[in-house]
Chains A and B, each alone.
Chain A
Amino acid sequence: MKQVKCECGHVNPHGTVLCESCGRVLVEEEKKKKLVDMRYEGSARRSQTYNKTIIDKIWNFFSSVKVGVTLIIITLAASAIGTIFPQEMYIPTTEPASVYYESQYGVAGKLYYLLGFHNLYSSWWYLLLIASIGISLVICSLDRVVPLYRALKNQKVSRHEGFLKRQRLFGTSQVEELDSSYELVKEKLKKNRYNIREENGNILAEKGRFSRWGPYINHIGLIIFLAGGMLRFVPGMYVDELLWVREGETAVIPETDGEYYLENHQFILEVYDKDKDNEAFNNAIENSGMVAKNFQSDVTLYKKSAETVAGEEPILDKVQDYELRVNEPLKFENFALYQQSYKLDELNKMSFALTNKENNEEFGDLTIDLYNPQDEYDLGDGYKVEVMSYFPDFEFDENSEPVTKSRIPNNPAFIFKMITPDKPDGEVSFVAIKQTIEPFGDNEFKMAFKGVETKNVTALTVRKDLTLGVLAVGGFIFMVGVVQGAYWNHRRIWIRRVDGEVWVAGHTNKNWHGLKREISTIFDGTGINEPKDQSDESDKSIESNSKEE
């Protein structure tokens, strides 16, 4: 590794522009310039000096801010495109994605699907983009913060004349009463909270150096944030499930290892009432007909008290009763249950009366629990109804056979055998909602529909997110970095005696106006001339160059 030894004796890493110690300009080209480029203190960024091995090449690629910005722009563009059409998880399940996008959105939709935008946010290339931004962030920061730290740590009080002369704020003065002027300046610098270092009658006054670390603290926060996002993929860190519980039912809460159970006593949907509630709601009620006021599930949380094998009746201890509303989740351990959705009036029981078709005489009622129908219902006196078949969610299949679509009684249908003293062999009747079929000809009896009993079903989101803490810490550190870099400036003032003259130079990483004002009060009345802004006459663009980001 080649190193550069400065005339002052300090050994600098290869590629250094300004000696870390004395500030002497080490590169011939820079000497021709009127002002030195103070970005990163003229330190050598490793990525710009070595380019030999594959490691160098990878490192240099990610170290480039241009590459970083390009990655961010590509990711932004991709993220935006991903919102044009709905993502795969949100399309109706009636059609497969390969058909849906083309049928809904034509050629654009087909292209969207073929290019994989329908499942963008978990696609490998999108994740790779995000990961590359993370890597770029780490490497960009490391490649800059280390040399910057070295340069600021090694800086000497007496900077080289060539360095001072090429500072944006620079001035020379002939001073008569040097000692008293010096004392006065020092006092004023102290009053302005500068740290003062002295060496052979030269002064380096510095303040706010920690603001230089702002961007890097900010990046650390971002990296922690990204790592938090990554943790979601670690099993057990993140749970997002939906739990449907019918009124009166107790269900095991998913992802709790069968430890917790939830009983739903009641689901309540309240709407705003024109007469009872505040008049302010009247317009809204008139416009939309119904305005929801409250979605609530009255639940009881249970914990399994003894180890039982799955399938056994669990022994449950009550943990708590809770009225679960939107934004008022039930929290236990690391879990939270949120009111998510509901289904009103799901069929639960159906009542029929065995009736003579001729004279409508009834021979007893029967109520069928749609979740647990009996094989037969004895009505006494020789009247009996057998359930030959039950289809909770009935439809006719392609062979015109009655089948069930699911186990939920959305559309219950029965095949009954009605046994009466008149017809001891029984009459068969197919009964569905608003539909009766008598497959073996005219019956004497019928099952007359009497009524239904319904129940509401609540849907709760089961959520566990152990990454939130990490995200909060990351976000907090991010903001600390922003504040640190934005509200403080790193200001330095060099005062050096050169051949009976006093040379003064000033530098700040931002807010030159503030520094100039401060300097003018410090040197006012000390006999030392206030340094002039050398960029005013020549190079305006230096202001924009001085930002390190």
Chain B
Amino acid sequence: MRSVILLILGAAVAYTLYANFSKDKIHKVEMGKEAPDFVLVDMDGETHRLSDYKGQGVFLNFWGTWCKPCEKEMPYINNQYKQFKDQGVQTIAVNISESKLVVNKFLERHDLEFPVVIDKDRQVENAYGIGPLPATFLIDPEGKVVKYHTGTLTEPMVREFMEQVKP
């Protein structure tokens, strides 16, 4: 009887401690779960719906022009995009609610080719529970999230990431 009581109390304490220390790490998007679908239009007017890319891996990057680390990794992503786009890995860069002008100028300046979409009313940012930028999600050909990374990526990391979701 006492063992049972102690066990229940111990379990409650363990759960509280666990929940407290994982609360900062809880994301809306869970690893291994279906990635939230979204529809956004890129700078060329083309519509990108995530669920249309089933069967391909998706490298989903969230960024802003004011974000220095984002700016740094953009050329790497661009290089790897060219390598992987014919191997079934789609790249989508979601800009957080900036103006078209600013984004376009940024793309021109860095000569970026991959599709960039603007999340005007921040619905997608909200659905993915984005914290600090840059944030990168990897979505496998089945549409499941397999990785979440915040912070600058190096070029080898970008390559490794894309390799990971190659169909």
Contacts and interface: CB of A to CB of B under 8 A. Distances in A.
A309 B38 contact: yes
B119 A373 contact: no
B66 A134 contact: no
Given A233-B19, A371-B99, A310 B124 contact: yes
A67 interface: no
Interface string B55-94: 0000000001110000000000000000000000000000
A142 interface: yes
Given A258-B123, A392-B102, A407 B66 contact: yes
Contacts of B39: 309-312
A375 B101 contact: yes
B40 interface: yes
Contacts of A310: 36-39, 123-124, 126-127
Contact of A124 (B21, B40, B100): B21
Given A59-B2, A310-B37, A407-B64, A374 B20 contact: no
Given A138-B9, A309-B38, A234 B66 contact: no
B13 A55 contact: no
A426 interface: no
Contacts of B100: 372
B96 A407 contact: yes
Contact of B37 (A142, A309, A372): A309
Given A310-B36, A311-B38, A251 B121 contact: yes
Interface string A373-391: 1110000000000011110
Contacts of B163: none
Contacts of A387: 101
A252 B96 contact: no
A375 B6 CA distance: 69
Contacts of A122: 20
A57 B65 CA distance: 61
B16 interface: yes
A139 interface: yes
Contacts of A250: 121
A127 B20 contact: yes
Contacts of B37: 309-310
A312 B123 CA distance: 9
Interface string A103-142: 0000000000000000000101001100100110011001
Nearest to B51: A309
Interface string A360-373: 00000000000111
Given A55-B6, A138-B5, A390 B99 contact: yes
Which range holds the interface residue count of chain B? 35 or more
Interface in B126-151: 126-127
B122 interface: yes
Given A55-B6, A127-B16, A311 B123 contact: yes
Contacts of B38: 309-311
Contact of B3 (A55, A230, A251): A55
Nearest to B118: A311
Contacts of A373: 99, 101-102
Interface residues of A, number: 44
Interface in A214-258: 227, 230, 233-235, 250-252, 254, 258
A549 B15 CA distance: 30
Most chain B beta-carbon contacts within 10 A, residue among A258, A309, A375, A403: A309
A472 interface: no
A405 interface: yes
Interface in A310-348: 310-312, 314
A128 B16 CA distance: 9
A254 B36 CA distance: 15
Nearest to A234: B19
B49 A309 contact: yes
A16 interface: no
B43 interface: no
A142 B9 CA distance: 13
B157 interface: no
Contacts of B15: 230, 233
B11 to A, nearest CB: 11
Contacts of B13: 128, 131, 134-135
Contacts of B127: 258, 310
A58 interface: yes
Given A128-B13, A390-B101, A406-B66, A252 B20 contact: no
Nearest to B119: A311
Interface string B25-43: 0100000000011111000
A405 B66 contact: yes
A405 B102 CA distance: 13
Contact of B16 (A138, A233, A258, A372): A233
Contacts of B124: 310-311
Contact of B126 (A124, A128, A258, A406): A258
A258 B101 CA distance: 27
A97 B19 CA distance: 24
Contacts of A135: 9, 13
A162 to B, nearest CB: 33
A393 interface: yes
A127 B17 contact: yes
A374 B101 contact: yes
B46 interface: no
A134 B101 CA distance: 58
Interface in A385-419: 387-390, 392-393, 403-407
B160 interface: no
A314 B120 CA distance: 12
A393 B98 CA distance: 12
B110 interface: no
B105 to A, nearest CB: 6
11 contacts: A55-B6, A138-B9, A233-B23, A310-B36, A310-B123, A310-B124, A310-B127, A372-B99, A373-B101, A375-B104, A407-B65
Closest 3 pairs (CB-CB, A-B): A233-B19, A131-B13, A310-B38
Interface of B: 2-3, 5-6, 9, 12-13, 15-17, 19-21, 23, 26, 36-40, 49, 64-66, 96-102, 104-105, 117, 119, 121-124, 126-127
Given A127-B20, A135-B13, A309-B39, 5 more contacts: A59-B6, A131-B17, A134-B13, A233-B23, A311-B119
Interface of A: 55, 58-59, 122, 124, 127-128, 131, 134-135, 138-139, 142, 227, 230, 233-235, 250-252, 254, 258, 309-312, 314, 371-375, 387-390, 392-393, 403-407
